[in-house]
Amino acid sequence: MNPQWLQGRNEYYARVVAFLENNKKRPSSSERKSTLIEFDEPIEFEDLAGKFGLLDLRHVGQVWENTGSVQVFLLKEKINSIEERNQGSSRWMESHATYGVVEASG
């Protein structure tokens, strides 16, 4: 598989900026959090460029761990709440992206 948003690369690096309430009616508090990330470098995808992204868990029962599979959205700019994400300033990029913690700080 060669997802268009990776532009021929194997991976992007990013740091976690915040966990945002995603308003999903799910049983665990972990499932109700989306992860706001900042990529190490800007990404361009479908006429949108940005350095921030949003990771969403894919299915009921999934929780945040050190590795996993998520949906990825590109954001034009940093947001402070899930309500700030809109179609003009974000793009869904992939439904089966994998993530992994490379270095955890403090």
The domain tally of the chain equals: 1
> What is the predicted pLDDT for the residue at 22?
85
Whether residue 106 is contained in a domain is answered as: no
Residue 82 lies in a domain: yes
Kind and range of the H or E element at 48?
A: strand 48-57
Q: What is the mean pLDDT of the chain?
A: 89
pTM over 0.95: no
**54: burial class by Cβ within 10 Å (0-12, 13-18, 19+)?**
buried
15 domain residue, yes or no? yes
Is 69 inside any structural domain? yes
73 has which bridge partners?
Answer: 54, 92
What is the average per-residue pLDDT within 53-67? 90
Token readout for 13 is 């690096």
pLDDT(30) > 90: no
pLDDT for residue 60: 82
Segments forming the whole domain that contains residue 37: 4-100
